[in-house]
Amino acid sequence: MFSIPLHVGFEVYLGLMLAGLTLAVALSYLRGGPTQWKVVEEQLCFCRECHFTFLVRRKANIVRCPRCHSLCRVRPRL
């Protein structure tokens, strides 16, 4: 049997954890990484007349509610 001092064991454990983390980050970048994210093209609009929420295009200012056909003003997302 051989014994490992506590500080050496901790260094080995820390080194293995850092190697695993580095490998996970490298695999994430090889699979596309954060460049695969894209901004959603739509946003939510709330109709005040019938309380219906629906998706509209991002650049639309005024849309017609699909349920009650009233005009709804789209508030820009901050």
CA atoms within a 13 Å half-sphere pointing along the CA-CB vector of 58 = 6
Interface with Zn ion, residue 56, by CB under 5 A: no
Residue positions counted in the chain: 78
68 is a contact residue toward Zn ion (CB under 5 A): yes
- Using the rule CB under 5 A, give the single segment among 7-15, 19-27, 32-40, 50-58 that binds Zn ion: 50-58
Q: Measured from the CB of residue 67, what is the shortest distance to Zn ion in angstroms?
A: 5
Q: Is the dihedral of CA 9, 11, 15, 17 positive or negative?
A: positive
**Residues at the contact surface with Zn ion, assessed by CB under 5 A:** 47, 49-50, 52, 65, 67-68
